[in-house]
Structure 1
């Protein structure tokens, strides 16, 4: 806290001071033991700075801070070494006072918001569009009945490496798509939480990409080859829209793509003889669909030529998904 005291003296009040504060007489043993307390004197005002002793405790700070203020009769602010952009935004919107490290502070009772960071924040590395790995993780979370996930579970479900899943989940937290809590005996196991699927989709859909790498045409598809009805063919099977005369299928497995490309034909021939259009996918859609038809969001993202008929069919297809309508 010495560095913070120096920063306050330098930027806010030359006479600022911070001292350890004993709150045991005024708080329950649970609250008194969950935080370190510091009394800050600045600009003629005293307030408490509370620091969680366990990362798991920071998930409850929002409701604890009001109890602490009532019991101790002083304003209180949360101190954290680091804070995600999502959490900072939430604290700002709910006017919860905080200090991050030694150089960012929001103290509404003093009319103060200072951001003295010299380094680039994580928000400077904002995601513009999902990568294929990010998109399949996003969709697996979206379609799942679960609201809580671990990195290991999502890695197993999507086939994406543990390291990539970990980076993706941290990005989702920074983007405000997910929250997390810390559990386990060691206090290191992160549980990622979807609070509301409607908000999750609404905030995430702007990052979605077209999952089709490229398309080509063939006369036939071997019966044993793993493929999924896709494009307008899939939309037609899900709605009242008429299917095209040729069949569109999606395939991900590299060996299957290579084998089919040996039999590639011209697009005109496929259209005239009602053959097959093959969509080479950027991610393994078998991980996010249980039948022989591509999942709905990947389907929508793959459509490049939209008209009123198609838009109406999409609305019909998505009627069953509450999160799509919210």
Structure 2
């Protein structure tokens, strides 16, 4: 398929194994052969029906596949009726008619000029943010998709999407070596990397629970409590803890006694968009840079907290020369 696509488009095309199939519902796994194509630095899912699928089901399946994988989805078809072709063109449903015709509207201007910069996504994903923090802590200067997937303990497809984001936000951070694959590369200091990416990094806190009790489970320190752990700053009169949003359904912190906003809580639980514990610490605590990113504007305006953040930067980011 990749050779046929390359001939039709006159641009390089690489076929990548889709490794996340087991995470999809059975009805999707049973209906399609799935793979990933990369054309002109854009990756998308290619779904080949195992048996004949009507247009109504294809509409629904494409929407579900895009929702679950975070990628655009096109159908690989051996034949297509005149009616189905017309409807797919009208509705913007991408398809590839093997060796003959293709309709991939989501590629847009990418194919007109490979040198044109891709528009970055609205905001960086949590996994890409976590990857950048890992790179800073470990001083990673060069890593392939496979190497980064092992470090993060995620699929290569997840890392491929992270590389797509890095390429869109910071052209030059990802080196494309053709058939050898893409690599993250950074030749400057950790401090320069932090200062480069900092404007796009997100506050990982999605929600807070102000409790009238202490949490009944062992949770990692977060927020100012974590900042205090990594610096000389005195903590608030209450402790702040983190909980990964994936754990909300099991632990249900919303059922714990809570205080109204404006009152001093006994403890605070912050719901985090990603889970990243500080490595090599005998205390359960989130990583220091995520703790810094979790601070709000009011907290960052406090000179005491500002000094504590500078301590953390000196310890974990700034190069000692």
Q: Normalising by the residue count of structure 2, what TM-score does the alignment of the two structures yield?
A: 0.55
| 8 Å Cα contact 1:129-1:207 kept in structure 2 | yes
Shift of 1:282: 0.3
Which residue of structure 1 aligns with residue 129 of structure 2? Answer: 135
Whether 1:238 aligns to 2:233 is: no
Give the Cα–Cα distance (whole angstroms) in 2 for the partners of residues 189 and 126 of structure 1.
21
| 8 Å Cα contact 1:239-1:313 kept in structure 2 | yes
Whether 1:317 aligns to 2:312 is: yes
Shift of 1:256: 5.0
Trace 1:246-261 onto structure 2 (pairs within 5 A): 246-252=238-244, 254-255=246-247, 258-261=250-253
| 8 Å Cα contact 1:239-1:316 kept in structure 2 | yes
Q: CA separation of 1:129/1:265 partners in 2, compared to 1, >3 Å: closer, same or farther? A: same
The residue matched to 1:228 in structure 2 has which SS?
coil
Greater Rg by CA: 1
Question: Which whole-Å deviations, capped at 9, do the CAs of 1:23-69 have from their partners, x for residues lacking one?
Answer: xxxxxxxxxxxxxxxxxxxxxxxxxxxxxxxxxxxxxxxxxxxxxxx
Question: Which whole-Å deviations, capped at 9, do the CAs of 1:219-248 have from their partners, x for residues lacking one?
Answer: 23345x4x2211111112222221011110
| RMSD of Structure 2 on Structure 1 (CA) | 3.4
Give the Cα–Cα distance (whole angstroms) in 1 for the partners of residues 267 and 172 of structure 2.
38
Spell out structure 1 runs of 4+ moving beyond 4 A.
81-84, 117-122, 268-272
Which residue of structure 1 aligns with residue 95 of structure 2? Answer: none
Shift of 1:251: 1.3
Which residue of structure 2 aligns with residue 285 of structure 1? Answer: 276
Structure 2 residue corresponding to 1:296, chosen from 284, 288, 292: 288
Please list every run of 5 or more consecutive structure 2 residues that lacks an aligned counterpart in the other structure.
1-38, 43-110
Shift of 1:321: 3.2
Please list every run of 5 or more consecutive structure 1 residues that lacks an aligned counterpart in the other structure.
1-80, 85-116
Which residue of structure 1 aligns with residue 197 of structure 2? Answer: 204
Give the Cα–Cα distance (whole angstroms) in 2 for the partners of residues 245 and 206 of structure 1.
31
| 8 Å Cα contact 2:245-2:273 kept in structure 1 | no
Give the Cα–Cα distance (whole angstroms) in 2 for the partners of residues 325 and 209 of structure 1.
27
Shift of 1:161: 3.6
The residue matched to 1:192 in structure 2 has which SS?
strand
The residue matched to 1:250 in structure 2 has which SS?
strand
Give the Cα–Cα distance (whole angstroms) in 2 for the partners of residues 270 and 264 of structure 1.
18
Give the Cα–Cα distance (whole angstroms) in 1 for the partners of residues 182 and 114 of structure 2.
25
The residue matched to 1:209 in structure 2 has which SS?
coil
Comparing 206-215 with 194-203, greater Cα deviation is found at 194-203
Q: CA separation of 1:194/1:243 partners in 2, compared to 1, >3 Å: closer, same or farther? A: same
Matched residue pairs, number?
207
Give the Cα–Cα distance (whole angstroms) in 2 for the partners of residues 321 and 177 of structure 1.
25
| 8 Å Cα contact 1:250-1:281 kept in structure 2 | yes
